[in-house]
Amino acid sequence: MATVRLLTDAELSPEARAVFDEIRAARKTDHVNDFWRALAHDPVSLRRTWESIRQVMAPGALDPLVKEMLYVAVSIANGCDYCIHTHTASARAKGMTEAQFLELVAVVGMASETNRMVGAFGVEVDEIYRQP
């Protein structure tokens, strides 16, 4: 259940509609995720968020699949169920195999375990890892 109503295409402002057109063109599908339908109440945030994601997730020094897997990993760590589902779907669409997804889950679990053990012991960063 949402805290704001999800806007239908007919209810979009012209500014929001323009972003939806870009999303549909970029994603090559008519389906626009419900997150964007919630955010469409605020066309300025909608545009800023869409452009930031497009820029951050574009191919660069990291390939888009690795970026998508990093996105999934962070979403798991932050406990965002919606984000886990949508970005896992994106990663699969970009070629993530089931074996890769299962290894990703194992890494996220292991990191979460040692993150907390390190905190419990209150270990400070080893001298050799400090910047001069």
Q: Is the dihedral of CA 115, 119, 120, 125 positive or negative?
A: positive
Instruction: Please name which of 78, 58, 128, 71 lies closest in space to residue 104, comparing C-alpha atoms.
Output: 71
Q: Give yes or no for residue 93 binding a copy of itself (CB under 8 A).
A: no
Q: Give yes or no for residue 122 binding a copy of itself (CB under 8 A).
A: yes
In the bound complex, what is the minimum distance in angstroms from residue 21's beta carbon to a copy of itself?
Answer: 19
DSSP reduced 3-state for 81: helix
Instruction: Please count the residues of this chain forming the interface with a copy of itself, following the rule CB under 8 A.
Output: 83
Which residues ranging from 17 to 46 are in contact with a copy of itself (CB under 8 A)? 31, 33-35, 38-39, 41-42, 44-45
Q: Give yes or no for residue 73 binding a copy of itself (CB under 8 A).
A: yes
What is residue 80's DSSP assignment?
A: -
Query: Which of 13, 18, 22, 74 lies at the binding interface for a copy of itself (CB under 8 A)?
Result: 74
In the bound complex, what is the minimum distance in angstroms from residue 58's beta carbon to a copy of itself?
Answer: 9
What is residue 40's DSSP assignment?
A: T
How far apart (Å, rounded) are the C-alpha atoms in residues 131 and 54? 33
In the bound complex, what is the minimum distance in angstroms from residue 51's beta carbon to a copy of itself?
Answer: 8
In the bound complex, what is the minimum distance in angstroms from residue 10's beta carbon to a copy of itself?
Answer: 18
Identity of the residue, 21 or 107, whose beta carbon is nearer to a copy of itself in the bound complex:
107
Phi, psi torsion values for 12, nearest 5 degrees: -70, 145
Binding letters toward a copy of itself, positions 42-71, x by CB under 8 A: x-xx--xx--xx-xxx--xxx---xx-xxx
Give the H/E segment covering residue 113: helix 98-121
Residue in the structure block whose two tokens are 């905190």:
119
